[in-house]
Structure 1
Amino acid sequence: MIEHSGTVASAGTSSVPEAGVASLLGVLAYGELMAFFDVARVAEMAPTVRSQQELGALAAREYAVYEQLSGRLRQMGVEPAEAMQPFHEPFDNWHARITPADWHEGLMKIYAGAAIATDFYRELTDVLDPQTAAMVREALPDDEQAALARTALLEAIEQDDRLAGRLALLGRRMMGEALSQAQLVALVNDDLLDLIMDRGTGQGFDLVGFQQLLARLGEKHTRRMAALGLDA
């Protein structure tokens, strides 16, 4: 039983719908594929060869995780492209609305945008079977990604304090768009919705629990912005 103030049912392995797990892996795989392209584009904006190297390595890790998730889907008898297709539109809408104009905005998207998604998926692992939950947690970015972007952003803000206002505004936009798209992702596919929401099965979040999940995402984002000295 998950110890949140909202209701989350126990994630016994026999009660977890396989179709829902495949849909969640499809969400993660498409997110990792988009993250690969996203980080690669930011790497092209990098002002130094060293920054390009670091971000290039990060992009390569994103693609490796995409391949890992695709392999798990194939083991389940699911074609990765089919599992990812339902989530094409909400993900693409998010990326279209949050397109970095320069290097600093690209770093902000890596630092805060990716972290919002990571927080969301980490919360969802509470309703998965242990094997899938472990794989999802392994697929999520580690602290190295956030640390790399945070260090570069802190240095940039220290050198030009005019960046603070622009980046704070971008951070707020990302949070609003992310919460909206997170709900759309959950609603766009019935199998995924059955996995994460309790619709009479006793499995997943109830409505109050899901709203509290979204509130926790906002709180974590506020702390993340404060680490840069920015208002959320």
Structure 2
Amino acid sequence: MKFQRSTLILVGAAFLLGAGVLIAESQRSQFPTATTQTATGPILTFEEADVATLTVDRGDETLVFEQDDDGNWQMTAPENAVAEPGAVAFLLSRLNTDSPLQTVTMTADQATDFGFNAPVGIVTVTLNDGTEHELVLGGPDFSGNANYAVIDPDPWPPQEGTEYSVLVVTRDVANGINRPLEEWLMPVETPDAEAGEEDAAIPNGSQTPEDAAEPNDSPATPAAPEATENDAETTN
């Protein structure tokens, strides 16, 4: 029995449509649909002045910062140095000011799909009262302009049968975590730079205080008086 050409075309189109639906459903199962609830609050709720320590675990290195009673930030690891306050404030501001773009649900077996098997970083904020908050930043979303993140996950790493609420946060969070180490430190003036500034402050041809205190020429030694004839006779 021969099939009409139009029938074969319809069967082929139906087959392709079915395959497309299966592929779409497979992708949807990997990345759940975002909830309709709109996030209105910040990622975390705290005041910068209440933060005692900030830890940024970037996998290959861990940065630790402490805030003293005067509000000054000090890096204690991997170096012991004065921290750049703007770098610390930027990351904390992303956490306590920015709102999540949306929220999705993730099961434990989807952690790799969201990039949590190799997180961009883990940020731990410890407050003066001992309260501790943790943000685990995963991989980028579909747009590439945001990242997936979980807040205070329990348990972690993900365990089978557990669902997690995953936030989609702006790329600024990743930028704050990935900042080069030298940008976390307050610039220190080198002795050569300080000497150069002092030299620049003295006009060319001017005397320094030390030069002014020293006379340029030594006083001339008085010449001995010439002997006269009377002096010669008196001597004889």
TM-score (norm 1): 0.23
Larger radius of gyration: 2
More helix by share: 1
More strand by share: 2
Which of 1 and 2 has higher RCO (CA within 8 Å, sep 6+)?
1
